[in-house]
DNA sequence: GATTGATTTCAATATTTTCTGAAACATTCT
DNA sequence: AGAATGTTTCAGAAAATATTGAAATCAATC
């Protein structure tokens, strides 16, 4: 089980090690994906393309992950929609090849952007609609309705901020998400007046 | 369908409106939750407690959401684990009552903290293990292994940063997540050297 | 220490999500 | 136009998840 020291490693041993490491990464990424509401297989296809770095075609993906052609087709299509993989071609080969975005931060930006668009924005829209139901124009409004509106406002404010942030940092032309994150990491604990204890 | 103007609204009408608005919020929050890998019902229970603001007991929750006792028990327990609701009591009443954290940012902090702990940290641990498999000490290491390690490093760096950020801003004693977010929102587009395009 | 009321657990069931595989559809080549 | 090759779709099958409900457990009261 202990890997042979690099000096004595044969080519075959190295290949096996590579494969093992890739498989483990694929499995971890898949687990993570499914915890966050992305289908395990879709995450695995993505992991495979990312970790190998190579463009792969449908058959290669099918074989490597032991999944059906239809499943590959659907997963790959979804990944294209998310904008985290690209279609490429090889001279003299009719097959479609797929290649993952190689920069992790660009990848995360794409994911964040899509998720906000798909899940936060619809929530905001619902909140708007709900607000229309409950006019708070007059102070004659019963107390409970007013309290409700206060709560809805709080949620709305918060998710709107998220949506704005995502446009700013995760948009296709967005400023660096990476640098923003590093900036925050360096920010002294306790900065800002909103600190709690 | 159009709501009566506030001046002419009867008490009953207001109550009905309130109920309708609450139900819609609960439904939206539930949808959102399930998109993010949280069970719909658990999210709905949380939404109910948040939107009413009142402590509620098991029977009230069962009735309002039309779900079984067992389901309420399990959902409530999970929400307690997440730290987004609290157990309370009423004098002369043996039942347990549950109340949601009312500050949205505190709530989001709790959620972020838990998710990082449950899903990002295990990924980091896996990455560590995978790294142990693939020694890159020697330059004798075949090219592919080296390339793999480069990719794993990129992922690791990125998620480690996330984990650190979560401790900083989402920890129980963490600095204000809200103020950090607002800070970012105000940050001029293009700040940082990581900008693209 | 038995009764009453509340809560938790968990095997069985129901629901939702994901996956397959083969047919339909495209595209390119001869 | 027809053959060959590649891709997508989608109804049904399989797997994964969530839910119920009744029995077991726990806790307070008499």
Q: pLDDT tens, A10-47? A: 778 888 899 999 999 999 999 999 999 999 999 999 99
pLDDT at B60 over 80: yes
Interatomic CA–C1' length for residue B56 and nucleotide C2, angstroms: 31
Most distant CA pair in chain B, distance: 84
CATH of B18-100, one of 3.90.700.10, 1.20.1050.10, 1.10.10.10, 3.60.15.10: 1.10.10.10
Nearest to A40 by CA among B37, B151, B158: B37
pLDDT at A194 over 50: no
Interatomic CA–C1' length for residue A69 and nucleotide C21, angstroms: 8
Report residue B193's pLDDT band, with 50, 70 and 90 as the boundaries. very low
pLDDT at A125 over 60: yes
Find which nucleotide's C1' atom is closest to B74's CA. C8
Q: Give me the A residues in range 38-57 that sit within 7 A (CB) of strand D.
A: 57
For nucleic chain C, give residues with Cβ below 7 angstroms from it: A 34, 39-42, 66-71, 74-75, 94; B 34, 57-59, 69-70, 73-74, 76-77, 94-96
Q: pLDDT tens, A59-74? A: 999 999 999 999 999 9
β-strand B56-57 against B93-100: which pairing, if any? antiparallel
Q: Give the N- to C-terminal CA distance of chain B in Å, as an integer.
A: 49
Most confident region among A77-81, A188-192, B13-17 by mean pLDDT: A77-81
Interatomic CA–C1' length for residue A61 and nucleotide C8, angstroms: 45
**What order of strands is seen across the sheet that includes strand A56-57?**
A56-57, A93-100, A85-90
Q: pLDDT tens, A137-155? A: 656 677 889 999 999 999 9
pLDDT at B181 over 80: no
Nearest CA to the C1' of D27 belongs to which residue? B94
Burial B89-102 (b: 16+ CB within 10 A, else e): eeeeeeeebbbbbe
Q: Between B175 and B43, where is the model more confident? A: B43
Q: How far is Cα B12 from Cα A47, in angstroms, rounded to an integer?
A: 56
Nearest to B187 by CA among A5, A161, A60: A161
Interatomic CA–C1' length for residue A70 and nucleotide C23, angstroms: 12
Amino acid A22: pLDDT: 97
B74 touches strand D (CB under 7 A): yes
- Delimit the domains of chain B by residue range: 18-100, 104-180
- For residue B133, give both structure tokens: 């498999």
CB contact under 8 A, B184 and A184: yes
pLDDT at B168 over 50: yes
Of B37, B140, B151, the CB nearest to A51: B151
Amino acid B12: pLDDT: 82
What is the pLDDT averaged over residues B114-143?
87
Find which nucleotide's C1' atom is closest to B96's CA. C6
Q: pLDDT tens, A76-118? A: 999 999 999 999 999 999 999 999 999 999 999 999 999 999 9
Q: Give me the B residues in range 84-113 that sit within 7 A (CB) of strand D.
A: 94
Q: Between B8 and A14, where is the model more confident? A: A14
Interatomic CA–C1' length for residue B68 and nucleotide D22, angstroms: 12
Q: In 10 A of CB B55, how many CB atoms?
A: 19
A34 touches strand D (CB under 7 A): yes
What is the pLDDT averaged over residues B55-78?
98
Q: How far is Cα B9 from Cα A142, in angstroms, rounded to an integer?
A: 9
Amino acid B190: pLDDT: 47
CB contact under 8 A, A133 and B35: no
CB contact under 8 A, B180 and A158: no
Q: How far is Cα B111 from Cα A141, in angstroms, rounded to an integer?
A: 33
CB contact under 8 A, A195 and B176: yes
């Amino acid at each position: 089980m202990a890997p042979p020291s690099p000096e004595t490693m044969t080519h075959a041993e190295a290949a096996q090690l590579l494969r093992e490491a890739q498989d483990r990464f694929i499995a971890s990424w898949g687990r993570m994906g499914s915890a966050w509401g992305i289908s395990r297989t879709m995450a695995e296809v993505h992991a495979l393309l990312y970790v190998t770095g190579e463009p792969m075609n449908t058959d290669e993906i099918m074989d490597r992950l032991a999944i059906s052609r239809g499943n590959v087709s659907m997963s790959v299509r979804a990944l294209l929609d998310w904008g985290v993989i690209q279609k490429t071609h090889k001279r003299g080969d009719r097959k479609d090849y797929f290649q993952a975005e190689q920069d992790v931060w660009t990848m995360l930006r794409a994911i964040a952007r899509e998720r906000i668009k798909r899940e936060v924005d619809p929530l905001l829209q619902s909140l708007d609609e709900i607000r229309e139901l409950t006019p708070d124009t007059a102070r004659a409004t019963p107390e409970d309705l007013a309290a409700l509106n206060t709560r809805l406002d709080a949620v709305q404010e918060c998710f709107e901020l998220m949506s704005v942030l995502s446009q700013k940092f995760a948009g296709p032309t967005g400023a660096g998400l990476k640098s923003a994150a590093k900036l925050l990491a360096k920010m002294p604990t306790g900065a800002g007046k909103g600190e709690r204890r």
